Amino acid sequence: MLINCVAYQDGNKLSAIPVAEISDYLLLPQAFVWVALRDPAPEELAQMQEEFGLHELAVEDAARGHQRPKIEEYDDSLFAVVQTVELVDGQLNVGEVDIFVGANYVLSSRQNSDQPLLGVRARAEREPHLLRQGAAFVLYALMDAVVDRYFPIIDLLESELETIEEKIFGKGSQRANIEHLYELKRKVTILKHAVAPLMEAVGKLYGGRVPALCMNTQEYFRDVHDHLNRINTSLDAMRDTIGTAIQVNLSMVAIDESEVNKRLAAWAAIFAVATAFAGVWGMNFKAMPELEWHYGYPAALVLMSSVCAYLYWRFRRAGWL
């Protein structure tokens, strides 16, 4: 679906134009065309490929979707894939923004994402002195908008981790904690897969051999790289903390199991003593003098009870019961 198609010249908006007139505006000096699509059909991508002369491999990647974040250079154009990450009903939904950039055009294709990018266009149009730098600045603005939306996700994940950490030493919550920690680890991994490859790709847009399109906007891409580096560092710290929390939680499970085993062993010892006495006196031998004693039965019960009580006191004092 076509969201908008707008022509700009010297940093100023000319007008919204029909797709059929794109090639005419591409011939204007100091002008470029910015087209935004959402979940485009193959026919729409084919039409854009014809209008802008897009490389067939880049178009194939955009049509297929589910690409790893990357930035590829095709002659005098760039193709960037940026993953969007949105929190929907407690789960992370991963979308994709494919961006084709040339000297006089920008084509963005948003897939599987409910977060609009209209604010990026509005922001760029409010700053014509920056928009005057051309399509490369639009590429920066789009990437910066997507990356900035990672920060609220990081804050939510950190808050979730802090909540779980507070419950680790609670009685009877170990299983639930393990489940929550592994679910949180999965979310961190999803965001990590969106951030780490993109950080590596953006690092090629400033310093060293930089594509000609980005020569005048290197400092902007360095800023995006810095943001990604901060996010990546936070994710690494969270993964380490989650790993430590899992180990602590497992240790708590082992401690609880040890306490249960102690109790079971103590009670088993108490009943074993009573069973031993009962077994001895239960033997049918005539030469056992206590069998003929009038007070033999009460005395046996008192002796067994006394020994069991003594063992209970000792185990209780040792902390086993």
DSSP 239-263: HHHHHHHHHHHHHHHHHHHHHHHHH
Q: Where in the chain is the domain with CATH 3.30.460.20?
A: 1-131
Q: Is the pLDDT of residue 285 over 60?
A: no
CATH number of 1-131: 3.30.460.20
Which residues, in sequence order, are CB contacts of 210 under 8 Å at separation 6+?
Answer: 204, 218
DSSP 212: G
Q: 133 pLDDT band (50/70/90 cuts)?
A: confident
314 CA to centre of own chain: 51
* Distance from C-alpha of 64 to C-alpha of 235, rounded to nearest angstrom: 29
End-to-end, the C-alpha distance of the chain in Å comes to 70
Percentage of residues in the chain having pLDDT higher than 90: 32
> What's the whole-model pTM score?
0.78
Res. 280: pLDDT tops 70: no
pLDDT over 90 (residue 100): yes
Label the pairing between strands 105-111 and 31-38: parallel
Percent of the chain with pLDDT over 70: 89
Q: Which CATH number is 256-318's, of 3.40.50.970, 3.30.930.10, 1.20.58.340, 3.40.50.300?
A: 1.20.58.340
pLDDT band at 260 (very low <50, low <70, confident <90, very high): low
Predicted confidence band of residue 189 (pLDDT cuts 50, 70, 90): very high
CB–CB of 71/205 below 8 Å? yes
Quick one: pLDDT band at residue 288, thresholds 50, 70, 90?
A: low
Q: Are 265 and 321 in contact, with CB atoms under 8 Å apart?
A: no
CATH 1.20.58.340 in the chain is located at: 256-318
Other CB atoms closer than 10 Å to residue 294's CB: what's the count?
Answer: 7
